[in-house]
Each structure stands twice: as structure tokens, then as C-alpha cells.
């Protein structure tokens, strides 16, 4: 599907949504299961394309393994395959070939991995051979703390399987601590002991313990419904599958949405959204360093409600599926809203204006699932078009189907 038109006649959001499982959690669980000596069941598996691809590639006997556009899958498999005895080619889409992998490769090579670049130095695709006999003989590795948390998580998950474990030092400011805590909490669930002291994580050699696991729903996916809740005149929405005690950094969403008059009540199935007040017209200010995947949605929420926003901690947004800062600037400008760098401080980005448009805007999605889903709630004001809507398959294939359950019209 090249484009869809999305509309909604009433600004009423009532119903129940069964949220898809978190692909971040599911992909970690799949890698841990692959590293475990025994099988175990994973319940509420994410239906995301990325997760299905991870499952297929872990089972594959092919020499060439293609991760497509799945960054998490590529990075986790780079570390996992570096432990295997067979030579593998790991590749992906043209966009994936432009996403750096050098820091992770350097760290793995320092542990004894045999990895070579096939095309451009520092970028996919990779040729991953059987590890050298002394793999893990050097068990001390340093990596910049402001790099992708997926590099660090990839190293953490293989750490217990290394002969001497791993002593991983994070150099500089740690930008994605909640994602690292998610990884370590999941490893702890499967019996792994670790010690995190300031900038160093020490994980001794030990075995993962197999036990059944349930994947929590995705808080990032929930954010799009919180946006609809913020725009709604009439609201009573149940989102199933979320935990009040969550390992996801994006769980801060429920608290930050109080600013926009959205109230969250947890229950046995998940949570219920109701309207507690009208959105505050005062400045919404947030550091997204620990929850960067929420930034696009909150920028759209500010735009839709007319609440001015001041965002920081967006360092990693330029190296995601697309340059998300540029994408937000371009697409919000189509509906009369400015998203711009603070002229007095380049660390801050401002959202100014309120959504207004006469002709139906057509939003580009840049091969980025989050751009498609973040812009979708704007259809509550007037019809919009979404280009390449199938991109949501990366993390939430049923997104458009679920919107129809809330009386959105899709053409």
C-alpha cells in the first residue's frame, strides 16, 4: 500500500486495545533463549516484523542472513554470531548499510571475534567467522557510553557465556540507561548475576537458567493512543498488556501525560485512560535522553494541543531508522507547526504553533514506523494521508486495524 487516507468524524476515543508485545523485550528474550542451554516458552510474543525476522534468522542455517531494516536484530545478531563456529554473512537494507556498526565490531574483535567488513569500513554487511581460540581471554572492554544502547546490550547478553565473563567500561555520559537496565533486569530474571559500579558492569561467566517468560506490551506503541487521548473530547480507553512495574524506560509516559490532562489507572489487564483536565497551556519541558522513542509522539501531542514544548536529550534521533529530527521538522511544517533548534542552546529543540491545515496533508514516513504512527492521531482534527503505511509492520503490524476499532476510517 503506497498511501492511505485516515479520518475520524468524532473526537471520541472509547474501547479496548490489545497492545502488541514490545519488540525490544521480545528480541532480548530470543537472544537469551538462543544462548541458553535449554528451551523455554516465550508468551505474548511481539507480532512485529523485526521479531519475526529475529526468530527466523536464529533458526536459519543459511550462510547469508538478511536482517532487512531491523537495527536491533542486526546488532544483537552481530554479537551472537561472533560466538558461533560457522562463517556467516550478516547484511540488511541499503539504509542499514549506512548505519554504523564499527564500535560494536571493535569491541567484539578485542574479545577475539573474527569479523570483517565486506563493503565500507565501519558499516554492514559483515563477514563473521568462527571466533579465535582465545575468545574472551581478554575480558575487559571499553565502549563510549553515548553510543547506541543496542551495542552495549548486545555485549551484555553474550557476557555470561564468555570463558572469563566480561568487564565492560562505559566511557562518558550514559545516554540510554533504561535500555541497559532492561537488558540487565531480563538477564537477572534468567539467573544472571552482575555488578554495576558507576561506569563499569562486571558479569562473571555463568549459565542462563531457562524459565517461562511473558513479553510486556510496548510502551512506545501505547504513546500513540496517549496522543489520541490528549486530542479527545470524550475518553475512556483500556490498553491491555502493560505492567505498572515495567522494565521499559518509556513507562515514564504515563506520568508525563498528566501535563496534557490524561489520567492513567492501572488494573489487572493493563491500564485505563480517562480525561482528568484540559491540557495545560504552560510549557511542556522534557529530557528524552532515557526515552528517545517517545520524542516524535510528544512533539505531535504538543502540536495538536497547541502546548509549547522544549525538548532535550535527542542526541540519538539522527541515527535511527531515519534522521527523526529532520523528519519531524519537515512533516510538522506541513500543518503549520515549527520544530526547531533553540537559537540560544543547540541542546534544546522547541515546538511552537498549533495544528492547522486546509488541504489534506500527506505525511512522508521515511521508512520509519514511528513517523507513521506518531502522525496518525492528527487525523482526529481533519483527514490526513500517510505515505508507505506498511512501514508500521516493523514494530506494530496491526496498528491500522486497531485504529479502525476506535472508529478511525481508513481508505
Annotated active-site positions, please? 293
Sign of torsion, CA 294 297 303 304?
Answer: negative
CA–CA distance, 336 with 381 (Å, rounded to integer): 13
Q: Which of 399, 293, 389 is nearest to 20 (CA)?
A: 399
CA–CA distance, 224 with 221 (Å, rounded to integer): 6
Task: Please give the C-alpha separations between residue 400 and each of 7, 94, 221, 232, in angstroms, as whole numbers.
Answer: 12, 27, 12, 18
CA–CA distance, 396 with 388 (Å, rounded to integer): 14
**In the structure grid, which three cell numbers stand for residue 200, read together?**
563499569
C-alpha distance across the termini of the chain, in Å:
11
- 341, burial (CB in 10 Å: exposed 0-12, middle 13-18, buried 19+): middle
Question: Cα–chain-centroid distance for residue 339?
Answer: 22
Sign of torsion, CA 383 388 394 398?
Answer: positive
**Which helix H or strand E contains 332, and what residues bound it?**
helix 324-333
**In the structure grid, which three cell numbers stand for residue 49, read together?**
516484523
Please list the alpha-helical segments (H only) found in 148-210.
149-158, 177-189
CA–CA distance, 45 with 27 (Å, rounded to integer): 9
Amino acid at each position: 500500500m503506497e498511501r492511505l487516507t485516515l479520518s475520524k468524524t468524532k473526537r471520541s476515543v472509547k474501547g479496548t486495545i490489545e497492545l502488541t508485545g514490545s519488540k525490544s523485550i521480545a528480541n532480548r528474550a530470543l537472544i537469551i533463549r538462543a544462548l541458553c542451554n535449554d528451551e523455554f516458552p516465550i508468551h505474548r510474543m511481539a507480532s512485529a516484523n523485526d521479531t519475526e525476522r529475529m526468530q527466523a534468522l536464529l533458526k536459519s542455517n543459511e550462510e547469508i542472513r538478511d536482517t532487512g531494516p531491523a537495527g536491533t536484530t542486526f546488532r544483537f545478531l552481530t554479537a551472537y554470531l561472533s560466538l558461533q563456529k560457522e562463517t556467516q554473512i550478516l547484511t540488511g537494507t541499503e539504509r542499514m548499510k549506512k548505519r554504523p556498526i564499527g564500535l560494536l565490531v571493535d569491541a567484539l574483535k578485542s574479545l577475539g571475534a573474527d569479523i570483517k567488513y565486506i563493503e565500507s569500513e565501519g558499516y554492514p554487511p559483515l563477514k563473521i567467522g568462527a571466533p579465535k581460540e582465545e575468545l574472551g581471554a581478554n575480558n575487559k572492554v571499553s565502549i563510549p557510553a553515548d553510543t547506541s544502547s543496542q551495542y552495549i546490550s548486545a555485549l551484555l547478553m553474550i557476557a555470561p557465556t564468555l570463558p572469563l565473563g566480561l568487564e565492560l567500561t562505559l566511557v562518558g555520559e550514559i545516554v540510554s540507561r533504561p535500555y541497559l537496565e532492561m537488558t540487565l533486569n531480563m538477564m537477572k530474571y534468567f539467573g544472571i548475576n552482575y555488578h554495576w559500579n558507576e561506569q563499569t558492569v562486571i558479569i562473571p561467566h555463568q549459565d542462563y537458567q531457562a524459565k517461562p517468560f511473558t513479553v510486556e506490551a510496548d510502551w512506545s506503541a501505547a504513546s500513540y493512543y496517549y496522543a489520541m487521548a490528549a486530542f479527545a473530547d470524550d475518553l475512556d480507553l483500556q490498553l491491555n498488556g502493560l505492567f505498572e512495574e515495567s522494565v521499559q524506560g518509556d513507562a515514564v509516559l504515563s506520568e508525563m501525560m498528566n501535563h496534557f490532562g490524561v489520567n492513567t489507572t492501572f488494573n489487572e489487564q493493563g491500564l485505563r485512560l480517562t480525561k482528568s483536565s484540559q491540557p495545560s497551556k504552560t510549557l511542556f519541558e522534557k529530557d528524552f535522553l532515557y526515552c528517545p522513542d517517545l520524542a516524535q509522539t510528544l512533539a505531535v501531542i504538543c502540536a495538536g494541543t497547541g502546548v509549547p514544548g522544549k525538548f532535550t536529550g535527542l542526541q540519538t534521533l539522527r541515527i535511527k531508522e531515519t534522521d527523526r529530527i529532520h523528519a519531524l521538522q519537515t512533516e510538522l511544517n506541513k500543518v503549520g507547526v515549527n520544530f526547531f533548534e533553540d537559537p540560544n542552546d543547540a541542546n534544546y529543540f522547541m515546538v511552537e504553533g498549533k495544528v492547522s491545515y486546509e488541504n489534506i496533508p500527506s505525511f512522508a514516513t521515511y521508512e520509519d514506523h514511528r513517523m507513521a504512527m506518531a502522525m496518525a492521531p492528527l487525523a482526529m482534527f481533519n483527514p490526513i494521508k500517510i505515505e508507505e503505511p506498511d512501514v508500521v509492520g516493523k514494530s506494530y503490524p496491526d496498528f491500522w486495524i486497531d485504529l479502525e476499532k476506535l472508529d478511525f476510517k481508513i481508505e
